[in-house]
Chains A and B, each alone.
Chain A
Amino acid sequence: GPKVLQIPSHQIIDMGQMVTLNCDPVSNHLYFYWYKQILGQQMEFLVNFYNGKVMEKSKLFKDQFSVERPDGSYFTLKIQPTALEDSAVYFCASSHLRWGPNTGQLYFGEGSKLTVL
Chain B
Amino acid sequence: GEQVEQRPPHLSVREGDSAVITCTYTDPNSYYFFWYKQEPGASLQLLMKVFSSTEINEGQGFTVLLNKKDKRLSLNLTAAHPGDSAAYFCAVSATEGADRLTFGKGTQLIIQP
Contact = CB atoms under 8 A, between A and B. Distances in A.
Contacts, number: 57
A23 to B, nearest CB: 11
- Sorting the interface of chain B by its residue count into under 10, 10 to 19, 20 to 34 or 35 or more gives 20 to 34
Given A43-B101, A99-B97, 7 more contacts: A40-B105, A44-B103, A45-B100, A99-B99, A105-B46, A107-B43, A110-B43
Interface of B: 4, 6, 32, 36, 41-44, 46, 49, 51, 89, 96-106
18 contacts: A31-B99, A42-B6, A42-B102, A42-B104, A43-B89, A43-B101, A55-B99, A58-B100, A91-B44, A98-B97, A100-B97, A101-B49, A101-B96, A103-B97, A106-B46, A108-B43, A110-B43, A111-B43
Rank and list the top 5 A-B pairs by shortest CB-CB distance, nearest first: A100-B97, A108-B44, A43-B103, A42-B103, A42-B105
